[in-house]
Structure 1
Amino acid sequence: MEQGVASLAVLSGLPVLAQVPDSSGSAPEFRTSNRRWQDAYDKALSILAHNVQVMPKYDKPVLIEGASYAGIWQECGPHESLVYRHFRKDVARNSHMTFFKLQRADGQLPANNKLTETGFGQIQMVVPIAATAWELARATCDDELLRVAYTSCSQWDEWLAKFRNTRGTGLVEGFCTYDTGHDNSPRWKGIPPQCPGKDAKRYPPIPSLPRLCPDLSATVYGGRLALSAMAQALGKTADSQRWMDRAGDIRELILSKLYVPEDAAFYDLDGEDHFVKVRSDILSRMCGEHVVDQKLFDELWTLQIHNPKAFWAPFPLPSVALDDPQFVRPIPRNSWGGASQALTALRAVRWFDHYGRAAEFSFMMDRWCEALQRDMTFRQQLDPLDGVFTKQDMPSYSPASLVMMEYTWRLVGVCEEADELQWNIRPGHPAAEAAYFRIVTDAGRVAEVNYKSHGGEVRLNGHLIASLQSGVARLVTDKTGKPVALLGIHEQAQKVSLKLPGHATRTLSLSPNQRVSL
């Protein structure tokens, strides 16, 4: 990620809006008797509240990156605010609208809006702003956001097609290091951080530029899928199909031109048609936008992602594979050359479940929460081997705080997805010690998880939905609380006892990632 020029200390002159209540009047609640876990969770929320700030050129509060990053970046800010939305829906909305309001007449979205400037010197995108805007608009029934996002993101796609397709391939080109936010990565060795003259339409006269970038192209792919869904919601059926077709076109190009099967890796293809062979978290970004199908994912999972010699480190996921000779050691600050990044950990919520790896994700979530509790400074990155955070990075980083918050709910609480509620019940887990969770869903229903001595009860609007009397599992219900399935979310097989109101207790053997319909 592009380094900011000011620390949070500089922000002391800005209005801090941490105490402004959510418009719903009911923020999520989490309590546990485990003091260590509660302290880390509470500190994460405190950091996030402090990082709700007003930036220049847009007069409403947004969630900034924090630490040394005094601003909001397109690659991550909208996604972070989406994760935070149950606490501050207004901040989630503003963190999208700031980019749309600052969009140039030619369609270019800003890469960032910082205390020092609004940046247009790179494209810097990872999670598609179209995708997070669509998720937020759909969840909050925000018609204005939907319409603004559709128009703005359509123009952004057109800008990218015009100015980042100079080789005429149909793929998205990278011109500088900041385009992908991969600061200090061997992937971009020898390439300037920013475009010449801070103009993202220009690239320096280097023979290896421009590059065809799989992750930038994946962002466009995910954005086009979202645009298709938005068009459908707006009654634009023909446009919806057009976006779907264009998404399919760029996906096919990514897979046919930028994937190297013998390496089980995606690489940049440089201006001289050479692959830039660094096995990096490009891979997780392909998964984040669901570019790869299940069959290819399973191969990548075995050979790369879940391989302890590559990306399945003791503290997953390193930004460069452990066994890649270009892994950078010693690990410097703000390094995408090997460190496990909080941003990657936060983005993992977008793809582990999609590919049926909820049980293994539990391991990753536990490891990150352990590292965060041990350190308590909430910095940007950690060593994938020992979980030690890089002390040269400044504390109070929003993505690390969001990891602690979001992982807590995904490990032992209730999460709201587009079409379902996920109740993650883990008796015996440290965070579940006499624990209580409560959120107000998008439809205004109150969802609660209450842990008893040997299990957990789940309620919606005060009505008992189910009780899990033994074992670890995820109960999946629809938005009204109707049980749909049980999912194995532990890495070991579980014997689960489930009691539904009006039914006898049912005992099931549940393997990791096994889904049983109810």
Structure 2
Amino acid sequence: MPQSRVTFSTDDELEQRLFDAAEAKSLGNIKDFAGRPVLVEGGGYEKIWLETQPMGGEMYAKRDLEVGLNNQLFFIETQREDGRLAGAIACEGGVVDPQFNQFQGFCFAEPALNMYYLTGRNPDYLHALYRALKRFDAYLWATRDSDGDGCLETWCQFDTGEDHALRFADAPTQWRPDTPPTGFEVVPIASMDFMGYSYASRDVLARICALAGQQEESASWRAKADQVLNRMREYLWDDGRGAYFDRDRHHRVMPVLLHNTLRTMYWGAITPAMANRFVDEHLTNPREFWPAMPLPSVAVNDPLFRNVPTNNWSGASEALTYQRAIRALERYGRYELIPKLGRALMEAIGPDGAFVQQFDPFTGRPYESAFPGQRQDAYGPCMLSVLEYLSRMHGVHIEFDRVIWGSCGKASTDYTQEWDGRTFRIVSDGRWAEAFIDGVRAFSVPAGRRVVTDLTGEMLAQCDF
């Protein structure tokens, strides 16, 4: 297994404090699952969840590749025969317990693919991932389109990780059966999230087949992914409002303006034109998703917005949304927002603050108790978000066969990624940034640039943040 490590220094006191604290506290979230280390979500969540921990593990792979890989393998290895993936996996007394009472989310397909590249391109791992995604997608379409309208459904609050959100009305929090709930006000809900789960699976399946030289099957999966996107555009996209909207069990549009369109950007399940409309008209609108602390779960001017301080996706700004926003914005070229969000998050946490799940959208105040009576800290998505934003703003991110380099701000910074016996280093004095691969200078650019190279340092693209 290749080794990895990150070192970072800066004369920005806040960023240095948070980097050091996040690195130290993340170690406490590494747990033994039947003799294998994994990174649990933390902050009171002592499991690996499908909505967070494949993504979290891949992010933590900058520091520990074995942990990052295990966070993928446990979901692959515990998949049910019918294709369903565990929504969460616990381990008590050395016994691994995959749990299938909700989906919770799906930040798995692309992070798992990146681990193939980071850990030495093992063909057996790639085949296992292919098989897992193919079976999972088949399960979704066999069970989650119960009314045959061509749109996959969410059946409970925790299927999409929107815990206690008001829009779910009387929906159950969890749902174990493979048959839909009946007698509830809004569920089954035709869901942009579940369509995103399928799109992401099919997109990565197309890429896996291309890597394996199976071009005809790759084209077939690409066409199937396009079918999902086309149905989302026909059925869930409101061109007048510039966002996706779910539909309730009566096929009526649910008009609440959610941040979830940003989630579809994470999965790639939205066209560039649609994504840019959502970003320009809604995500960066101070009256909706860009208040003092950006990225509330529900637009702050929506009738269903509620600013609840405990675990609740009715409105508070969630650290998990900051974590997902990086890939979502990079995929659609909205790089200029990444340092703004990163700095907003770090200033909200503050130099002596705890790493928590939620923040007040109007003040940025951390909500220190996700659960009544329990003070929260070391919440993994918050810590990993800080570390990932710093990697994009001032450092190095290796993804697939590319290296992404960042040099934001006027502070002096020095960031090194060690990986597979190699070093990737970028140093900035706030005016110019120099990058080095294995000690050899690769390029120099004015500070404030985002640069993409291949693994040898050949420049592929650059732009201003």
Among 3, 8, 11, the residue aligned to 1:30 = 8
Equivalent residue runs for 1:349-364 within 5 Å? 349-364=326-341
Among 112, 137, 140, the residue aligned to 1:133 = 112
Matched-pair identity in %: 27
Match of 2:202 in 1: 224
Match of 2:435 in 1: 458
| C-alpha spacing 1:26/1:291, structure 2 compared with 1 (3 Å) | closer
| C-alpha spacing 1:191/1:375, structure 2 compared with 1 (3 Å) | farther
Scaled by the length of structure 1, what TM-score is found?
A: 0.83
- Amino acid in the other structure paired with 2:406: N
Residue 239 of structure 1 and its aligned partner are, at CA, apart by 2.6
Instruction: Provide, for residues 480-515 of structure 1, a one-character-per-residue CA deviation record: whole Å limited to 9, x for no partner.
Output: 1123443111xxxxxxxxxxxxxxxxxxxxxxxxxx
Match of 2:250 in 1: 272
Match of 2:391 in 1: 409
- Amino acid in the other structure paired with 1:85: A
Equivalent residue runs for 1:364-443 within 5 Å? 364-393=341-370, 394-426=376-408, 428-429=410-411, 433=412, 435-441=413-419
Give yes or no for the alignment of 1:80 onto 2:83. Answer: no
CA distance in 2 between partners of 1:387 and 1:120 (Å):
35
Q: Which runs of 5+ in 1 are unaligned?
A: 1-22, 490-518
Q: Residue 28 of structure 1: SS of its match in structure 2?
A: strand
Pair member with larger Rg: 1
Scaled by the length of structure 2, what TM-score is found?
A: 0.93
- Amino acid in the other structure paired with 1:158: A
Match of 2:215 in 1: 237
CA distance in 1 between partners of 2:247 and 2:385 (Å):
33
Instruction: Provide, for residues 448-478 of structure 1, a one-character-per-residue CA deviation record: whole Å limited to 9, x for no partner.
Output: 122347433211111112334x542223322
CA contact (8 A) 2:134 2:201 kept: no
CA distance in 1 between partners of 2:103 and 2:19 (Å):
33
CA distance in 1 between partners of 2:83 and 2:4 (Å):
37
Q: Residue 275 of structure 1: SS of its match in structure 2?
A: coil
CA distance in 1 between partners of 2:461 and 2:237 (Å):
36
Q: Residue 386 of structure 1: SS of its match in structure 2?
A: coil
- Amino acid in the other structure paired with 1:143: P
Match of 2:135 in 1: 155
CA distance in 2 between partners of 1:367 and 1:427 (Å):
14
Residue 172 of structure 1 and its aligned partner are, at CA, apart by 1.3
Match of 1:63 in 2: 39
Residue 54 of structure 1 and its aligned partner are, at CA, apart by 2.2
Equivalent residue runs for 1:291-306 within 5 Å? 291-306=269-284
CA contact (8 A) 1:27 1:440 kept: yes
Match of 2:19 in 1: 41
Match of 1:492 in 2: none
Match of 1:12 in 2: none
- Amino acid in the other structure paired with 1:261: D
| C-alpha spacing 1:84/1:211, structure 2 compared with 1 (3 Å) | same
CA distance in 1 between partners of 2:439 and 2:130 (Å):
38
Q: Residue 194 of structure 1: SS of its match in structure 2?
A: coil
Residue 345 of structure 1 and its aligned partner are, at CA, apart by 0.4
Q: Residue 207 of structure 2: SS of its match in structure 1?
A: helix
Residue 37 of structure 1 and its aligned partner are, at CA, apart by 2.4
Residue 64 of structure 1 and its aligned partner are, at CA, apart by 0.5
- Amino acid in the other structure paired with 2:133: C
Match of 1:190 in 2: 170
Equivalent residue runs for 1:2-41 within 5 Å? 23-41=1-19
- Amino acid in the other structure paired with 1:398: G
Residue 106 of structure 1 and its aligned partner are, at CA, apart by 1.8
More displaced stretch, 450-459 vs 95-104? 450-459
**How many residue pairs end up in the alignment?**
455
CA contact (8 A) 1:414 1:448 kept: yes
CA distance in 2 between partners of 1:484 and 1:241 (Å):
26
Match of 1:486 in 2: 462
CA contact (8 A) 1:177 1:193 kept: yes
Q: Residue 364 of structure 2: SS of its match in structure 1?
A: coil
CA contact (8 A) 2:114 2:399 kept: no
| C-alpha spacing 1:235/1:26, structure 2 compared with 1 (3 Å) | closer
Cα RMSD (Å) of the superposition? 1.9
Instruction: Provide, for residues 120-147 of structure 1, a one-character-per-residue CA deviation record: whole Å limited to 9, x for no partner.
Output: 11222232x2222222113331222211
CA contact (8 A) 1:345 1:403 kept: yes
Runs of 4+ in structure 1 over 4 Å off: none
Residue 25 of structure 1 and its aligned partner are, at CA, apart by 4.2
| C-alpha spacing 1:234/1:422, structure 2 compared with 1 (3 Å) | closer
| C-alpha spacing 1:341/1:453, structure 2 compared with 1 (3 Å) | closer
Give yes or no for the alignment of 1:180 onto 2:160. Answer: yes
Q: Residue 263 of structure 1: SS of its match in structure 2?
A: coil
